[in-house]
Amino acid sequence: MKISYKESGVDIDAGNSLIERIKPVVKETFNANVLGGIGSFAGAFKMPKGYKKPVLLSATDGVGTKLKLAIESKKYDTIGIDLVAMCVNDLICNFADPLFFLDYYATGKLDVESASEVIKGIAKGCKEAECALIGGETAEMPGMYGENDFDLAGFAVGIAEEDELNPKVKEGDVLIALPSSGIHSNGYSLVRKLFFEKLNMKLDDTIEGKKLIDILLTPTRIYVKDFKKLKPFINALAHITGGGIVENLPRVLNENLEAIVYKDKIKILPIFEFMSKYVDEKEMFRTFNMGVGMILAVSEENVEEVLKNSDGYVIGEIKKGTKGVKLK
């Protein structure tokens, strides 16, 4: 008796079919620095010119249990944008321009249709982030994942000048918030627990006229273009992810600096206002972005320029004190 790889649950032909389907989409992300095409053992990217002391930076992330909602709703077109966003938004906090991206897609049984939708989203995110999707891996692992389950991981590489790596925040700097598009990709274990276990809501239920599933799957905003435009006028950026403002903003502060954030100035999104009826305020602020996706530290003389060239608004200031955040 003989058995095939396909009988064990791995379909090589499906994997090849996926590669052929996504090739045109992936190529749309290429630029002049991409060497070769799709299908080699490694992606090749030529070092950009014009840097005096170039440093390569890397970031990796996933999208957490937000994936469960994409799987349950069979909405696969935006989760790839989240994957790119979570990586490139971290890179720019070290003043790095994203160069290229790679993805890892693992599943119990490869469905070419849904996988191609996910990767189209990744390519869309890469175009928004102005970086090339130069490689990836699709792994079919029956027994490791349920048949309809999949997981995602992303890997981004960027480039920066060495002397720009460290934040230059100082006393008197003004804190400017760039709005988030929604919950982004953090805190979804709590989100799912609240909406679907405690409140027994359904995916098609509505909040303020919007379907719950559409609110929850709104993709993470990508801030790369904002960063490139505002770079000359900012001293530091903090990506507000898991841990919220209180845990992420201190990452750009020196030991003798304290960030003062005024809660009444934050433009809290409706979804967070709804959740705040059931979750303690302190827990909300240490889990979610509360409507603030990125915080910029800006010298006072540059505030007007930043506000004029972005959708940002002032939420606080930097003072001398113990390193940390005070929510007032």
The whole domain housing 52 covers 12-164
- Note the pLDDT tens digit of each residue in 162-184: 999 888 999 999 999 999 999 99
Q: Average of pLDDT values for 35-45? A: 81
Q: Are residues 106 and 193 in the same domain?
A: no
- Note the pLDDT tens digit of each residue in 77-97: 999 999 999 999 999 999 999
- pLDDT beyond 80 at 67: yes
Integer Cα distance of 255 and 283 in angstroms: 25
Integer Cα distance of 153 and 83 in angstroms: 7
Q: Which of 38, 151, 145, 52 is nearest to 100 (CA)?
A: 38
Q: Are residues 133 and 260 in the same domain?
A: no
Say if 114 falls within a structural domain: yes
Q: Are residues 160 and 186 in the same domain?
A: no
pTM over 0.85: yes
Chain position carrying tokens 């903090």: 238
Q: Are residues 122 and 210 in the same domain?
A: no
Check residue 290 and give its pLDDT: 97
Q: Are residues 102 and 193 in the same domain?
A: no
Q: Average of pLDDT values for 23-33? A: 88
Does residue 71 contact residue 148 with C-beta atoms inside 8 Å?
Answer: yes
Indicate the pLDDT class of residue 4, thresholds 50, 70 and 90.
Answer: low
- Note the pLDDT tens digit of each residue in 214-254: 999 999 999 999 999 999 999 999 999 999 999 999 999 98
Q: Are residues 178 and 323 in the same domain?
A: yes
Does residue 260 contact residue 295 with C-beta atoms inside 8 Å?
Answer: no
Quickly list H helices, the chain: 12-27, 66-73, 79-91, 112-128, 188-192, 212-216, 224-230, 244-248, 270-275, 281-285, 303-308
Give the domain-ending residue among 164, 183, 210: 164
